[in-house]
Structure 1
Amino acid sequence: MASQNQNQQQTTRPPLRKPTFIKVDQIKPGSTGHTLTATVVSSTAVPHRGRGRNTRIAECLVGDETGTIIFTARNDQVDIMKPGTTVNLRNAKIDMFKNTMRLAVDKWGRIEVTEPARFTVNEENNVSLVEYELVNVTEEAP
């Protein structure tokens, strides 16, 4: 009887939530779980350095009508992120690189090619050019 209840609990999953799409200018450092629609403006391959696995990396400038951000594409993602392509980035996260934001999609996220965007990319507002500084906050005893 107990194993039957366990099987029912394992097979019933909570209903999936509808994704909430955000805009590039709403992205903050250290945040995760972003879903956004963006157009690839440019893609530049990063030369492979070091030893170990043979990982392909490309830095892609992606954006929407509110701004642009650098997206780090890895391996198979490099083939998808071609200039002019409009993509849905699901469960994207922010990685900090040299105190600036980079958007990335890891194994828990997904990149989907979608129909061409109806917006023009605002290349004037590149949120990856904003440099952030880590501030340590310490509490003083009263």
Structure 2
Amino acid sequence: MATVVSKTETMGGTPSQNTTTSSVKRKAVFIKVEELKPGTNGHNLNVKVVSSNTVLQKGRAASQHLRHTRIAECLVGDETGTIVFTARNEQVDMMKAGATVNLRNAKIDMFRGSMRLAVDKWGRVEVTEPAKFVAKEDNNLSLVEYELVNVVEE
């Protein structure tokens, strides 16, 4: 016969004693651009904006409460390589060429077989002090084309 025990009981206390826990945030672990892989998420990067190119700007005049949609493709990178970052709405204003930004909880989206970096509503884009590194533009991870292959096990 199995017995279910709550987490607070296994820590040696009663449920009322251990209900006030403080939330301690972990220190963010930053990775380099060359470490990015397709289909991954939760990345923290410190990158420099090489270029920014607005690809879509849509406004809706019919309704006042709907906001404008803006999308820009920005080439960002560090000393290990570069990748295309898809900036949306407020993020577009921060992605000026030469700016250094921290990307928190970034994910890799696949677009036409190539990797694109993006930060959704669960992540954060913040401008930081200028970095001392120079982006390595000859290692663009977005130029590598990937193909989805189904492996059949026999």
Instruction: With the length of structure 1 as denominator, give the TM-score of the two structures.
Output: 0.86
Hey, what's the Cα distance between the residues in 1 that align with 2:56 and 2:44? 28
- The residue type paired with residue 89 of structure 2 is N
Q: Percent identity?
A: 68
| Structure 1 residue aligned with 2:153 | 139
Hey, what's the Cα distance between the residues in 1 that align with 2:150 and 2:51? 36
1:81 and 2:95 correspond: yes
1:95 and 2:109 correspond: yes
| Structure 2 residue aligned with 1:19 | 28
Hey, what's the Cα distance between the residues in 2 that align with 1:12 and 1:62? 39
Cα RMSD of the aligned pairs, angstroms, is 2.2
Q: How many residues align?
A: 135
CA deviation profile, 1:86-119 (whole Å, cap 9, x unmatched): 0000000000000000000000000111110110
Q: Which one has the largest radius of gyration?
A: 2
5+ residue gaps in structure 1?
none
| Structure 2 residue aligned with 1:35 | 44
- The residue type paired with residue 29 of structure 1 is P
Structure 1 runs (4+) greater than 4 angstroms displaced? none
Instruction: With the length of structure 2 as denominator, give the TM-score of the two structures.
Output: 0.80
Deviation, structure 1 residue 16 = 1.3
Alignment check: 8 A CA contact 2:74 2:95 kept: yes
| Structure 2 residue aligned with 1:115 | 129
- The residue type paired with residue 24 of structure 2 is P
Hey, what's the Cα distance between the residues in 2 that align with 1:112 and 1:13? 26
Considering fraction of residues, name the structure with more helix.
1
Alignment check: 8 A CA contact 2:56 2:69 kept: no
* DSSP-derived class of the 1:33 partner: strand
Hey, what's the Cα distance between the residues in 2 that align with 1:32 and 1:108? 11
Alignment check: 8 A CA contact 2:44 2:105 kept: yes
Deviation, structure 1 residue 137 = 1.5
Deviation, structure 1 residue 18 = 1.0
Deviation, structure 1 residue 12 = 3.0
- The residue type paired with residue 40 of structure 1 is V
Hey, what's the Cα distance between the residues in 2 that align with 1:13 and 1:55? 39
5+ residue gaps in structure 2?
1-14, 61-65
Which of 63, 73, 79 lines up with 1:59 in the alignment? 73
Hey, what's the Cα distance between the residues in 2 that align with 1:95 and 1:39? 20
- The residue type paired with residue 148 of structure 2 is L
Deviation, structure 1 residue 48 = 4.3
* DSSP-derived class of the 1:56 partner: strand
